[in-house]
Amino acid sequence: MFDNTLRFKVPLENPYGRRFVITDIHGCYKSFKSLLNKISLSKADHLFLLGDYINRGPCSQLVLDLILDLLDSGYQIFPLRGNHEQLLLDSKTRQQIENTPQMPKLHKYKGLLNENGSLKTKYLDFINTLPYYFELNNYFLVHAGFNFDQNNPFNDYFSMLWITEFKIKKEIVGTKKIIHGHIPNDLNVILKCLDNKSQIISLDNGCYIKKDRQKGNLLCLELDSLVLSIQNNIEE
């Protein structure tokens, strides 16, 4: 099971394998699994997941189960917390979940709740352990972003889950890049950021969005080569 102490033991580099980032899976289990196969994920690799594993897509439970299975099987998976996980934590019962205004109408939580309508223990324990950001040797990884107007942006957990726009302060982050998700961006915008070697890179292409030609893909970025792997939505 995911160890809460991992948040303090994230390796800065990986001399034995590759480093990958995926964000905003949103219940797209088949797309997620296919993307992992596409990159040939191995136990030598580090895979960072930037939150929002649930809702919108059809298979939230299967996404969480796959992440937990990979962890239990010895894969080096480092998951962060997203705003959708936080919403689920904050909503203790089925009625609260259904009545939460921020939850999308297409949210799917089948299999996550027990017969009493509350979050099953294994998912509750997992989500409760999720940290808000990771700092690597040359990257900050976060779900939504950082509020650099705060005296200490790394203590502003709300912004890390919910902020929609932010600008970097060089005196705080130096030359490190910030990789985040949360708000879907067009694929051409994401590719342009990579081509321009931008310091802020969003990897959320709205995997669950099927009717937009510039969206609807799950993306995986290899951190050291900046090679982007693209998996189109294959959910039914």
Torsion sign, CA atoms 27, 29, 33, 38: negative
Domain boundaries, the chain: 17-232
Lowest mean pLDDT among 4-13, 128-137, 155-164: 4-13
Domain 17-232 falls in which CATH fold?
Answer: Purple Acid Phosphatase; chain A, domain 2 (3.60.21)
Question: Could you give the percent of the chain with pLDDT greater than 90?
Answer: 76
Q: What is the pLDDT of residues 128-159, one digit of tens each?
A: 999 999 999 999 999 999 999 998 999 999 99
Predicted pLDDT of residue 129: 92
Query: What is d(CA 23, CA 213) in angstroms, rounded to the nearest whole number?
Result: 19
Reported as a pLDDT band with limits 50, 70 and 90, residue 111 is confident
**Helix/strand/coil (H/E/C) assignment for every residue in the chain:** CCCHHHHHCCCCCCCCCCEEEECCCCCCHHHHHHHHHHCCCCCCCEEEECCCCCCCCCCHHHHHHHHHHHHHCCCEEEECCCHHHHHHHHCCCHHHHHCCCCCCCCCCCCCCECCCCCECHHHHHHHHHCCCEEECCCEEEECCCCCCCCCCHHHCHHHHHHCCCCCCCHHHHCCCEEEECCCCCCHHHHHHHHHCCCCEEECCCCCCCCCCCCCCEEEEEECCCCEEEEEECCCC
